[in-house]
Amino acid sequence: MSASHSRLLSTFVFLLLALLLPARARSQESPYLVTYDHYLEEPGNLEIEYFSTFGTQHGGNDFHAPWIELEYGATAWWTTEFYLDGQTTFNDSTLFTGFRWENRFRPLKREHFINPVIYVEYAKLSGADKIMKEVEGHDVASDFAEPNSLLRQETKHEMEFKLLLSSTYKGWNFAENTLAAKNLSNQPWEFGYALGASRPLQLAASSKRCNLCRQNFVAGVEMYGGLGDRHSFGLRDTSQYLAPVAAWNLPSGWTFRVSPGFGLNDNSHGFLLRWGLSYEINGFGEMVGHLFGRGR
């Protein structure tokens, strides 16, 4: 099959899916690509998400790292999510780089000024993983300069724990995440953080059905970076990023996010462009339940 046929087929499948998937869906997603707020997936809903990170590389080839997320609201207090990561390094190769399984738990029943969520993740990744979903420890841009053939030789089994704190005040969301990650192969604990602030462009909903209403757009900024490890905690030899973020929540259930990120020191990639497209399927749990003969 030629490249043009392949592109045509992909476009057809994409459009078919867009038409077949249920037209009505909830969508009020945050614009963050790294930071988490305290809102979990609605119970029974499945969100299918595609994201990618394009990064410039000093002393090496630029890269494009896509990943897919399947996010499911198991209950109103538990969201589970599965990731598949990959990357293409220009003038090098394309690789599948591993998977992650994350879980977020909401310990408190009600809303408070600051709302905590506990995040637990297991990841099995190769050293060539470049999605940069989080920045931790002494992760620096030069780590990515090696060719894929060398990077992929390392396999990491990692547990990651985060405390997600988030507040909503007068339409603004403020989120603060701290993370501790442990490579299970006898590496020291590594630390990192992410901060975010965002707000919809309009707080009240329009009385007309519309895709381009200002209420459907959310804009903000996030900042994230490493905080060293157990032996050398702090900002020394870490990479740091600042990234404006924006999301467009369509009433049909689609969400489009984009975020140009800028490295704040010499250890960081100069420029990161992240973007993503997601679709939320309402009542997915119920559909699967019916397949297993429940609810009949």
Q: Which amino acid is at 157?
A: H
Nearer of residues 80 and 142 to another protein, judged by Cβ: 80
Min dist. Cβ of residue 194 to another protein (A): 18
Q: How far is CA 65 from the centre of its chain?
A: 12
Query: Could you give the CA distance from residue 28 to residue 250 in angstroms, rounded to a whole number?
Result: 9
Please, are residues 24 and 253 in contact by the beta-carbon 8 Å criterion? yes
Between 41 and 139, whose beta carbon lies closer to another protein? Answer: 41
| DSSP E strands, the chain | 46-55, 63-75, 78-89, 94-105, 115-126, 155-169, 172-183, 190-200, 217-229, 240-249, 254-263, 271-281
Q: Tokens 């538990």 correspond to what residue?
A: 78
Site for another protein in 138-167 (CB under 8 A): none
Q: Report residue 241 as tokens.
A: 């990023």
Q: Per-residue string for binding with another protein, 165-204, x by CB under 8 A?
A: ---x-xx-x--------------------------x--xx
Is 206 near another protein (CB under 8 A)? yes
Span from 37-45, 138-146, 179-187, 266-274 in contact with another protein (CB under 8 A): 37-45
- x-marked contacts with another protein along 70-89 as a string, rule CB under 8 A: x-xxxxxx--x-x-x-----
Smallest separation (angstroms) from another protein to the CB of 12 = 22
**Least distance to another protein from the beta carbon of 174, Å?**
13
State both tokens at 192. 């990192």
